[in-house]
Amino acid sequence: MGVCLSRSGEESAIGSDGIVSRALAITGGHLSRKPSLPDRASSALEKDFPFLLEALNKLLIFAQLPPDKQATVCSNMYEREIDAGEILIREGEEGVAASELYVVKSGDFEVLQKYEDVNVRVNRKEAGDIFGEVALLYSVPRNATVVALSDSVVWVLSREIFNYYVRQVVNRAIELDIFLNSVHVIQPLLKAERQRLLEDIEEEVFKSGDVVCRQGDYANKFYIIMKGEATILKAKETEGEGDQVLTELFSGEFFGEECVAPDESSYNCTVRASKGGDSMHCLTVPVEKADVLRPLYDMMQREKKPELMRSKWASIKNSSKDVPCPIIIKEIDATGNHVIVSRARGHLYEASRLRDSGKRERSGSASSEASDRYKRGSVDEGYISSYNAYRRRSSAKSASSEGSNDSNITEDLGALLTDSFMKNIQERSFSKTVVKEGEDGDDIPDEEEFVEESSPSVLIAQASEEDVESFGLSLIKTEVLGSGAFSVVFMVEEERSKRKFAMKRIPKSSVDHCRSHILCEQKITRNISHQFVIRQYASFQDKKYLYFLFDYLQCGDLMDVLCGEARLIKTSSGPSLMACLGSGSKDGEKGNKKYLVGLKEELAKFYVAQIILVLEYLHTNGIVYRDLKPENVLVDDKGFIKLGDFGFAKNLKGLKGERTNTFCGTPGYVAPENVFTQGYGYSVDFWSLGVLIYVLLTGKQPFNQPKTQDPMVVVQRIVDANWEVPYPPYLKPAAKELIKELLQRDHKKRIGCREGGFMELKLHKWFKNIQWDLLSVKKYKPAAMPMISKRRRRNKPGINSPEKMNESFDSETKKFFVNF
């Protein structure tokens, strides 16, 4: 059917014995065809070669090429712009999505890997760095997610280009060199130093639970984890209490840095291969051969700051044990000045990641001067800098109030993150404070009238703009983007970076009605990594509201697209008009009736195909969405979608049969099995998809004809097996067939729920021209982009009702606020 669903070269690479041919797995089977650059691609010019050559020569596989081959490869690279927050690589992607190497020209990126369903930052890439290099050698799934921290530009080199011009023999040294390029702490080494390291490196394997090194033992080796996980343990001061787990380390991380220290000669911690997992594979360097690593010791120390290790451990375990930070919300008053309307408490780790985008741009030389190259920042440099500022400010307040000063405050950064400290912060977070009311009902703490509190609590509540500049966030609230029954969404601008976000505000007084939905939305959107899904960047709270910070998409949603594209047609010209519209009407059928027509089919397919890719990702990760409708599908300025509003989403992993019973969703889109509340799973999303396709093509609801204002009537039609959906005569047979297969009341007969799953859905004839692999990496677009007409939003109950502070929250709700 013209649809390529398999990864590149898979069929031809698998032999009769089921083993993938190494040559074909490396080349993807494209050696004989001369490749071309994408349409409108801006290829590298000769003036760009010095930058690209210096960056690419860090890789042994490239450094071994003759100069003419290097220049040829560079001339076939092209630029691609990446917006802040955009996912360039997604963990687990295959095929076209896993066939490119990238060189950062400007901007910076964070590298995330998922552990225990939590995205953990494991690396960071900036100008002159390379990532995705495994794609040049193998057709294998991506092993990490890469997200732009700021507006960035990358140079792209495809596997097809590389394999056409280069006949490279892959050996173990090249494979190890490519792995080392993913290790953040190794980045400053020059080509000769990396080659020397490769000569001295050894490989060791440790079984699950094996102790690799013990605290106090002589430090005789440096370790880099290639595969598996390690647990870091520290002996407690009280004898007999056992070891304390500090954190876990994963592929690409290191330990044993004590062996390259100028003075220390014993391990500070005990490290063991994590229990219950696979064996741990490590690259090791003996202390007598580790001289090349000694200049990196200071950088290693920054990576292993205690507060950073604890914070990562807390994020992996979904713990609320993180340092708070101030987030202030401002509005522009009638005179054009910024006025603070709310002071909120956020999480330092989240805020620092938003601050951690330097927009560094380099040209001409990809490497730093020798004196500067060892000063590269930590993977979480923003967090460390913000933490240092927080501790200095906290110390200054303590000194002014108690007459003391901690001169070593910047050295002992881990001491603050104790259980007693965090308990104090959490208990004090809701202490009584004298406040005044802002213009929109938000509480504004009066800096002159704070009740005496602990230093951390007062520091957050009374944070100055200087404090916010050092370790917090300042958000300028502008227009209202939309509202729901319990929430309002505003557009805000982060004052430091000028980057725009969508801020969702939920009154605390409504939490009793939707606590589980808020918790699900927070957990799910925090750890989703998909290019067609909205991303949550932070959650925070003040006295009266809970807040989420999401991607901002200025072009509206699919309902806005529908408003701009919908049109009326008349059938007065008889069958000829129906033929022009491609309908399945019979010859001789006549009429003089007006019909509302929605999107053009090609445009509707473009959007629906993206939604299918999103649902496939969500279901694979155990998430049922439960509220699919045009209003929840946002559109970016390039025409691609982002699925938003995960208030009804639920993770079914761990539930019996991966089923739930809650009746929720939007009337008109809910599936019959949802209405009956007898248990349902992912099937409800396929039903909603059928309704959405109908709405996009016709501009009408399938179960609201004849029109009714009573949602119960709509629900009754949905569950009534004898009620048939009316289809307009202009609808093409393939579209009508697909909608009917999705609106099967028996979910077992519904397409997508049958044995073929998503594959059967993608292969449906309505999608025959969709190039799924190209669409997944945003390289496929419709012939014409839509007209978007932003409709007037109707104010819902949450928008104009000032919420008063509820003084009588029960213990469960208070605990919920503490952990938010």
Dist. CA 758–CA 307, nearest whole Å: 44
Tokens of 474: 């300042």
Do 533 and 617 contact (CB within 8 A), yes or no?
yes
What are the Cα distances from residue 234, in Å, to 228, 247, 253, 269? 20, 10, 18, 5
> Which residues are annotated as part of the binding site for ATP?
504
Q: What proportions of the chain, in percent to the nearest 5, are helix, strand and coil?
A: 35, 20, 45
Of 6-15, 64-73, 786-795, the least confident = 6-15
- Catalytic residue from among 108, 467, 557, 627: 627
Average the pLDDT over 591-597 and give the result.
79
Domains and CATH numbers, the chain: 10-182 (2.60.120.10), 197-304 (2.60.120.10), 324-359+377-552+803-819 (3.30.200.20), 558-789 (1.10.510.10)
Residue 102, pLDDT score: 95
Show the tokens assigned to 521: 């939305």
Residue pair 688/696 in contact by the 8 Å Cβ criterion: no
Spell 512-526 as b/e; 16+ CB within 10 A means b.
eebeebbebbbbbbb
627 among known catalytic residues: yes
Q: How confident is the model at residue 169 (pLDDT cuts 50, 70, 90)?
A: low
Evaluate if residue 442 carries a pLDDT over 50.
Answer: no
Residue 574 has pLDDT above 60, yes or no: no
- Phi/psi at 207 (5° precision): -75, 155
Percent of the chain with pLDDT strictly greater than 70: 73
Highest mean pLDDT among 188-202, 235-249, 740-754: 740-754
- 381 Cβ neighbours under 8 A, 6+ residues apart: 124, 302, 356
- pLDDT of 435 higher than 60: no
Q: Give the closest residue to 777 by CA, choosing from 98, 1, 36.
A: 98
Give me the pLDDT at residue 412, please: 35
What mean pLDDT value characterizes the chain?
78
Identity of the residue numbered 757: G
User: Which amino acid, 672?
Assistant: P
Q: What is the pLDDT of residue 459?
A: 63
Distances (CA, A) of 249 to 46, 57, 255: 42, 29, 8
How long is the chain? Answer: 820
Cα 305 to Cα 302: distance, rounded to the nearest angstrom = 5
How would residue 348 be classed by pLDDT, with cut points 50, 70 and 90?
Answer: confident
Residue 801: burial class (beta carbons within 10 Å; 0-12, 13-18, 19+): middle
pLDDT digits (tens, 9 = 90+) for 130-163: 998 888 878 888 888 999 988 999 999 998 888 8
Residue 123 pLDDT: 85
Q: In the structure encoding, which two tokens stand for residue 391, read together? A: 């501790």
pLDDT (0 to 100) of residue 32? 56
Q: How much is the CA Rg of the chain, to the nearest whole Å? A: 29
Q: Which of the residue ranges 35-44, 241-250, 791-800 would you say has the lowest mean pLDDT?
A: 791-800
Say what the pLDDT of residue 372 is: 57
Which of 111-115, 231-235, 794-798, 812-816 has maximum average pLDDT? 231-235
- The band of 87, judged by pLDDT with boundaries at 50, 70 and 90, is very high
Q: Give whole-number Cα distances, 333 to 224, 395, 466, 551, in Å.
A: 54, 35, 21, 25
Which pLDDT value is given to residue 311? Answer: 63
Please name the amino acid found at residue 475.
L
> At 375, is the pLDDT very low, low, confident or very high (cuts 50, 70, 90)?
low
Contact 364, 559 (CB under 8 A): no
- Tens digits of per-residue pLDDT, 186-230? 888 888 888 889 989 999 999 999 999 999 999 999 999 998 989
Burial call 450-464: b when 16+ CB within 10 Å, e when fewer = beebebbbbbbbbbe
* CA–CA separation, 457 and 477 (whole Å): 25
C-alpha to C-alpha distances, 352 to 34, 463, 581, 585, 794, nearest whole angstrom? 46, 16, 54, 60, 36
